Structure 1
Amino acid sequence: MEPEAFPVRCHVVTGKGGTGKTTVAAALALALAADGRQVLLVETEGRQGIAQLFDTPPLPYEERRVAVTRGGGEVKALAIDIELALLEYLEMFYNLKRAGRALRKMGAIDFATTIAPGLRDVLLTGKIKEAVTRRRDGERVYDAVVVDAPPTGRITRFLGVTGEMAGLTRSGPIKTQSDGVMAVLKSPQTAVHVVTLLEDMPVQETADALAELTAAGLPVGSVVVNMATEPLLPEEELDRVAAGRLSGAELAPALAAAHVHDGAELATALAAEAVEHAQRWAAQDELRAEVDGLGRPVVELPLLPGPIDVGALFELAGRLEDHFRTEAAA
């Protein structure tokens, strides 16, 4: 992966709860870091999911290396602390470092973010923009930033709240900062990727999220179908079995040849299981067609056995690297 081959530098990963968006975000960061690239993986929800995936202690509010990839690439991770992000903001734009610390001791920061929850999203997106545009000695610090973002139900609000803030102010640092954030989030260097499962609710939420993001003028990337499974039956038999045209009598001879006791009763039960599996697969295939019909590039990640560890993340990263390499070349 050559650094200049990928115009998208801010990858926002969202998805319905339970679809594995944090896992996908972590694997995507590894994929983008291949061949010597520097990538920052940002957690926005305070769950320390990234630390658990990489088997590291809970992340502080600082950028720490969590993985090294092919060619000496690095993934650093950052769990954004809202209070510290606000202190950083006050110091950066208003030179109010001491005042900010006093506000924190008084509990004013927690109070402000509680009564104005949109402020949290402003701080989060502001920090993301800062990481995307940060330079050192004239060079970009990170080739890409991957964001483990809020779920689909509030992703459009999360990404758009800073634009609303810009509309409330006519000038000054808040206006300048807000316009700068939206300039990044609505530009071709950003892409919002939606993670789904081949289940009714996640697919519907994916369709809704894509429509909302498009209407808001936010750039949509790929749809990631996570935890996809393969059929256990031969493909040529799936339609017949799904239609219920499989009986225990067809399976009984094979069980008898294997000297299985109570073969007839077991054969009937196995036939019922096979029919149910084939019907689930048919329904899943219909949902796959719905996802393909959403008009976005689609990549499928397999359901891996056992818990997700760093080795599993690298396996998923290989799939994602192939997908985004193809997309960049198209």
Structure 2
Amino acid sequence: MSRFQVVSGKGGTGKTTVAAALALALATEGKRTLLVEVEGRQGIAQLFETEALPYEERKIAVAPGGGEVFALAIDAELALLDYLQMFYRLGSAGRALKKLGAVDFATTIAPGVRDVLLTGKACEAVRRKDKRGRFAYDHVVMDAPPTGRITRFLNVNDEVAGLAKIGPIHNQAQAVMRVLKSPQTAVHLVTLLEEMPVQETVDGIAELRAAALPVGRVLVNMVRAEVLPSPVPQDVRRTDVAKALSRAGLGGARRGGLAEQLVDPLLEQASQYEERVALERRQRAELTELGLPVTELELLPEGIDLAGLYRLAAELRTQGVS
């Protein structure tokens, strides 16, 4: 299992939820996991029902078996100050630059710089070791930008390394790319069994592969269970349906009764259900053709809360994602 797990996906697929569940799953059995957020939305804090995350690593959960999940919301401006201190020893001078607005200029006007800082901070956590020479974290999970931007986001260090041929910036970019393009890293894409998310996933994987970035697995979120036989029998008689509804206590089966009135809407729903299941099966087949491991996570009808996260984490472990 790669130590740096990058989770991306089309907006609305639940990538932040899946990233959080993955961090919990990887922390099981006494391991330490760092969950990193880079988009400034504080989605992790909301999922774990805690206060907004500062720019520091903070423990937010305990996994089954005593493992720990830490979280970090990376702020590009503060990461730049770290960078200036690390490579140029500009601690106080860096703070002065922030007051003058130079830091905001660098991270806003030059978006590539922002991405370098965000990926660099995450990779630093991947490489960091304690005094005994052990990795500080067993795994680092990043809630990354959406599929349409993930390849450029991860590959921006290659562009920077090409622009800066020598010096600390070049060396930093090269060090980050060595992590991102190594077996230490796996980029997972979250999708739904719907046409647009699946197509975006297929396109995203093609772009990642073209950039030589390591693709992990496809995580299919919010999968609904099949509750009827498929295809739905077409020879079901209206009278049989009305009688079944009557036996269920939904009025008499006589003509014009409540049960008889419910027959047409019920059969219409069955037809719509069959169409949805057929569509989902086509999308599932398209994902299978990618040749990647595919993991499916069930739809939680009650919504996602802390208990739901632990449930999804257990499901990930059951399917071998740990």
Q: Is TM more than 0.5 here?
A: yes
* CA–CA distance in structure 2, aligned partners of residues 229 and 136 of structure 1: 44
Per the alignment, in what secondary structure is the counterpart of residue 324 of structure 1?
Answer: coil
| Alignment check: 8 A CA contact 2:250 2:258 kept | no
Match of 1:3 in 2: none
Q: Deviations over 1:22-47 (max 9, x none)?
A: 00000000010011111100001000
| Alignment check: 8 A CA contact 1:255 1:263 kept | yes
1:169 equivalent in alignment to 2:159: no
Match of 1:74 in 2: 68
* CA–CA distance in structure 2, aligned partners of residues 259 and 318 of structure 1: 39
Q: Deviations over 1:263-303 (max 9, x none)?
A: 22211111111111111111111111111111100000000
TM-score, normalised by the number of residues in structure 1: 0.92
1:24 equivalent in alignment to 2:14: no
User: Cα–Cα, structure 1 residues 164 and 263, in superposed 2: closer, same or farther, change >3 Å?
Assistant: same
| Alignment check: 8 A CA contact 1:248 1:269 kept | no
Partner AA of 1:191 in structure 2 = A
Give the 5 Å matches for 1:242-281: 246=236, 248-257=238-247, 258=249, 260=251, 261-281=257-277
Per the alignment, in what secondary structure is the counterpart of residue 308 of structure 2?
Answer: helix
Match of 1:207 in 2: 202
User: Cα–Cα, structure 1 residues 289 and 169, in superposed 2: closer, same or farther, change >3 Å?
Assistant: same
Runs of 4 or more above 4 Å deviation: 244-247
Match of residue 295, structure 1, among 287, 291, 299: 291
1:239 equivalent in alignment to 2:231: yes
Q: How many residue pairs end up in the alignment?
A: 315
* CA–CA distance in structure 1, aligned partners of residues 80 and 205 of structure 2: 30
Match of 1:34 in 2: 28
User: Cα–Cα, structure 1 residues 167 and 247, in superposed 2: closer, same or farther, change >3 Å?
Assistant: farther
* CA–CA distance in structure 2, aligned partners of residues 13 and 324 of structure 1: 17
Per the alignment, in what secondary structure is the counterpart of residue 77 of structure 1?
Answer: strand
| Alignment check: 8 A CA contact 1:156 1:213 kept | yes
* Shift of residue 248, structure 1, vs aligned partner: 3.3
* CA–CA distance in structure 2, aligned partners of residues 319 and 306 of structure 1: 17
Partner AA of 1:110 in structure 2 = D
User: Cα–Cα, structure 1 residues 214 and 222, in superposed 2: closer, same or farther, change >3 Å?
Assistant: same
* Contiguous gaps of at least 5 residues in structure 1: 1-5
| Alignment check: 8 A CA contact 2:17 2:309 kept | yes
User: Cα–Cα, structure 1 residues 108 and 146, in superposed 2: closer, same or farther, change >3 Å?
Assistant: same
| Alignment check: 8 A CA contact 2:107 2:114 kept | yes
* Shift of residue 259, structure 1, vs aligned partner: 5.2
User: Cα–Cα, structure 1 residues 59 and 76, in superposed 2: closer, same or farther, change >3 Å?
Assistant: same
Partner AA of 1:203 in structure 2 = V
User: Cα–Cα, structure 1 residues 108 and 259, in superposed 2: closer, same or farther, change >3 Å?
Assistant: closer
* Shift of residue 232, structure 1, vs aligned partner: 2.5
| Alignment check: 8 A CA contact 1:240 1:246 kept | no
Match of 2:254 in 1: none
* CA–CA distance in structure 1, aligned partners of residues 64 and 31 of structure 2: 9
Give the 5 Å matches for 1:81-230: 81-137=75-131, 138-230=133-225
| Alignment check: 8 A CA contact 1:40 1:78 kept | yes
Greater share of helix: 1
Partner AA of 1:75 in structure 2 = V
Per the alignment, in what secondary structure is the counterpart of residue 139 of structure 1?
Answer: coil
Q: Which moved more, 1:313-322 or 1:43-52?
A: 313-322
Match of 1:305 in 2: 301
* CA–CA distance in structure 2, aligned partners of residues 310 and 256 of structure 1: 41
